Amino acid sequence: MRLLGGGASVRGPAHQLDCTPNQDALCVSGLRGGWCIAVADGLGSRPLSHFGARKVVQLFRQIARQRQSVPHGAIASALRDAWLAHFGDRYRAYETTCLWAQVDASGRGVVGQVGDGLLLVRSLGVFKVLTSQRLGFSNQTTTLAQADSNGSYSADLELSQPGDGVVLMTDGISDDLIPEQLELFFDAIYQRQLRSSRRGMRQWLTRELHGWTTPRHGDDKTIAGIFLTD
């Protein structure tokens, strides 16, 4: 069994023009023969949200490394509590969303999401979109600080066949994708991962994200994935 992980994050053209930082954050980390990945999107209306996004992906990596087996239902609350403990009463300036996945060396793992973005999975050979349809207006989202059993999603995951995997992305990408083409998008990422090193995959994804040409291309864009290749 061989698992590969990769990802990339780019600052959107709108933030480049404004000389503002990338409000997205990314974690891709090997973990005892498996992988943990996370992407986060700091709220544009919060002045320090890029720091909040960076912190939550760091916290997920710490949680994944400290626990041999992480119950999927406990991760959102563990992330929220650790994140709030770090920022304290100032947390509103740092608010962020987060998506995460951890897969161990046997192909078993967990996935979860708080807020916007998209979570795609192929498990046991079956492709699924795990993100529920967004409710309300496009500028309304649950943040990590608001996460509870009703404001977050989590599930167990099993990768058992070549082509199985999980892909996480922020809404700078997901808002532009056509629902009927999500499986094709997933497969395109997998096929590229098959013939790329981790560095090569990051470089390819970075080029693709910088070359994004769809209408909402001004936003920051972050994507990460884990795949079973053989």
- Of 35-49, 135-149, 210-224, give the lowest mean pLDDT range: 135-149
pLDDT grade for 17, boundaries at 50, 70 and 90: confident
Model confidence over 81-97: pLDDT tens digits?
999 999 999 999 999 99
Residue 216 has pLDDT above 70, yes or no: no
Model confidence over 175-213: pLDDT tens digits?
889 999 999 999 999 999 999 988 999 999 999 999 887
Residue 66 has pLDDT above 50, yes or no: yes
Q: Decide if 168 contacts 103 (C-beta within 8 A).
A: no
Q: What is the pLDDT of residue 212?
A: 84
For range 64-85, the mean pLDDT = 86
Q: What is the pLDDT of residue 77?
A: 92
pTM above 0.95, yes or no: no
Q: Calculate ∠ Cα 104-150-59, nearest 5°.
A: 40
Q: Calculate ∠ Cα 200-3-187, nearest 5°.
A: 65
Of the candidates 163, 100, 166, the one whose C-alpha atom is nearest the C-alpha of residue 129 is: 166
Question: Can you list the domains of the chain with their CATH numbers?
Answer: 3-228 (3.60.40.10)
Q: How far is CA 9 from CA 85, 107, 217, 219, in A?
A: 26, 25, 14, 11
Q: What is the pLDDT of residue 1?
A: 80
Model confidence over 136-183: pLDDT tens digits?
334 567 899 988 766 788 999 999 999 999 999 999 999 889 999 999
Q: How far is CA 6 from CA 9, 16, 87, 165, 168, in A?
A: 11, 24, 29, 12, 11
Mean pLDDT, the chain, whole residue set: 90
For range 102-109, the mean pLDDT = 95
Q: What is the pLDDT of residue 119?
A: 97
Specify the residue for token string 């309304």: 140
